């Protein structure tokens, strides 16, 4: 049987950690190891990790000084002994058959990466988060899915062949606290031959928690670092439209930097062009110079659509422009 290493970065998650570990121990697929990486927790998380490890030989614990979640995942992979790698955040859980299903799909056609759907759990309700794509993809196609947000950019809910990981996989600036997982995913995809996406098979329970790192903001200079990293990996002709889509869809994150609510559409584009100089400027110029597109976007903006909705409309219009 192929062995799966489940890497769990842990930082001050004493409230949810037991629930997370229990869900992994209850998997129907049993040839697993759980690597708990205690990233310098200051609450009771360290003790919880040690207690679970003492009572179950499948669990190993790494205690380290705090370096952030990316470094914690790196250390977990380095210490792992499995043939496959999957990541679970310490405040989330896995459905009982998640690993069985992912590995069955991977083994069937020797896929290097398998991606499943999430169940997003709020305090008051649950919601399936299906993927926009389903089926077999090569490396280039999978990277486009990531950039076009047709596939989750995070590391969880996925199964990776371990030999995809190398010393560069986690070489990501700690200043990037949002979308850093996209960089890791692109690096892994560049080494993969085949990937499979399961649009509606739930393999991960994501618990929405206020004030988590994934719901926080990031400074302007760090967005520049992020854009630079993403574009250096995928800034080729076949990814050009996907890259422009990626950056526009996170315009709403830049709102805190350029005070978006007080700007006209033209000022939005100019600010975006100024803040994100690595974007192909010809693409931006074409968007601005298209009267039909510009008038449509100004009307939408003045109707007080959310900035995210504005970004989606930008994409639709650009698809027409660049056909």
Structural domain for 300, as ranges: 220-321
* Count of domains forming the chain: 2
Is the confidence at residue 255, as pLDDT, over 90?
A: no
The tens digit of pLDDT for each residue in 116-141 reads 999 988 877 777 776 677 899 999 99
The tens digit of pLDDT for each residue in 145-159 reads 888 778 888 899 999
- 66 vs 296 pLDDT, higher one: 66
Comparing CA positions, the residue from 56, 82, 75, 106 lying closest to residue 8 is: 75
- 238 vs 236 pLDDT, higher one: 238
Residues 171 and 263 in one domain: no
Local confidence band at 209 (pLDDT 50, 70, 90 cut-offs): confident
Indicate if the alpha-carbon torsion angle 200, 203, 207, 211 is positive or negative.
Answer: negative
- 152 vs 268 pLDDT, higher one: 152
- 170 vs 242 pLDDT, higher one: 170
- 121 vs 94 pLDDT, higher one: 94
Is the confidence at residue 226, as pLDDT, over 50?
A: yes
Residues 141 and 259 in one domain: no
Residues 265 and 144 in one domain: no
DSSP state string for 212-269: -GGGS---HHHHHHHHHHHHHHH-SGGGHHHHHHHHHHTHHHHHHHHTGGG--HHHHH
Distance CA 300, CA 294 (A): 10
pLDDT value of residue 1: 75
pLDDT value of residue 241: 65
Residues 188 and 260 in one domain: no
Give residue 32's region: left, alpha or beta (phi > 0; psi -120 to 50). beta
Distance CA 1, CA 23 (A): 21
Residues 236 and 202 in one domain: no
Indicate if the alpha-carbon torsion angle 236, 242, 245, 249 is positive or negative.
Answer: negative
Residues 114 and 146 in one domain: yes
Annotate 67-92 with b (16+ C-beta within 10 A) or e (fewer).
ebbbbbbbbbbeebebbbbbbbbbbb
Residues 204 and 230 in one domain: no
Asked if 181 and 220 touch (Cβ cutoff 8 Å), the reply is no
Local confidence band at 294 (pLDDT 50, 70, 90 cut-offs): very low
Residues 226 and 189 in one domain: no
The mean per-residue pLDDT over the stretch 212-223 comes to: 56
DSSP state string for 6-56: EEEEESS-TTTHHHHHHHHHT-S---EEEEEEEES--STHHHHHHHHHHH-
Residues 153 and 263 in one domain: no
Is the confidence at residue 268, as pLDDT, over 90?
A: no
pLDDT value of residue 122: 86
pLDDT value of residue 304: 40
Examine the fold and report which residue of 162, 184, 212 is the final residue of a domain before the chain moves on.
212
Residues 118 and 176 in one domain: yes
Residues 201 and 316 in one domain: no
Q: What is the CATH number of the domain that holds 83?
A: 3.90.550.10
Comparing CA positions, the residue from 145, 253, 162 lying closest to residue 198 is: 145
Is the confidence at residue 102, as pLDDT, over 50?
A: yes
Examine the fold and report which residue of 193, 212, 231 is the final residue of a domain before the chain moves on.
212
pLDDT value of residue 166: 95
pLDDT value of residue 237: 63
Distance CA 111, CA 273 (A): 39
pLDDT value of residue 269: 53
Q: Residue 9's beta-bridge partner residues?
A: 37
Examine the fold and report which residue of 212, 244, 276 is the final residue of a domain before the chain moves on.
212
pTM of the model: 0.78
Token pair of 113 as six digits? 């990466």
Residues 188 and 68 in one domain: yes
């Amino acid at each position: 049987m192929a062995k799966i290493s489940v890497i769990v970065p842990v930082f001050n998650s004493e409230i949810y950690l037991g629930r997370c570990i229990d869900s992994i121990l209850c998997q129907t697929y049993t040839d697993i190891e759980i690597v708990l990486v205690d990233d310098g927790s200051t609450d009771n998380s360290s003790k919880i990790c040690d207690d679970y490890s003492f009572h179950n030989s499948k669990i190993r614990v790494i205690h380290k000084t705090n370096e952030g979640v990316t470094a914690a995942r790196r250390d977990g992979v380095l210490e792992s002994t499995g043939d496959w790698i999957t990541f679970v955040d310490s405040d989330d859980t896995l459905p009982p058959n998640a690993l069985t299903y992912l590995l069955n799909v991977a083994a069937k056609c020797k896929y290097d990466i398998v991606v499943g759907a999430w169940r997003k759990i709020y305090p008051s309700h649950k919601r399936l988060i299906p993927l926009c794509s389903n089926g077999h993809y090569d490396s280039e196609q999978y990277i486009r899915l990531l950039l076009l947000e047709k596939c989750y950019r995070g590391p969880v809910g996925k199964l990776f062949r371990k030999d995809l990981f190398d010393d560069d996989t986690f070489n990501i600036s700690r200043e990037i606290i949002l979308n850093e997982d996209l960089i890791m995913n692109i690096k892994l995809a560049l080494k993969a031959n085949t990937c499979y996406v399961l649009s509606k098979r739930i393999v991960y329970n994501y618990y929405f928690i206020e004030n988590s790192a994934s719901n926080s903001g990031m400074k302007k200079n760090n967005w520049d670092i992020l854009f630079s990293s993403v574009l250096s990996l995928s800034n080729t002709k076949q990814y050009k439209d996907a890259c422009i889509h990626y950056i526009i869809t996170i315009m709403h994150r830049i709102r805190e930097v350029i005070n978006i609510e007080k700007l006209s559409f033209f000022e939005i584009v100019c600010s975006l062009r100024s803040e994100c100089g690595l974007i192909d400027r010809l693409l931006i110029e074409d968007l601005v110079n298209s009267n039909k597109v510009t008038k449509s976007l100004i009307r939408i903006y003045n109707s007080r659509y959310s900035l995210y909705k504005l970004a989606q409309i930008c994409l639709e219009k650009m698809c027409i422009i660049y056909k």
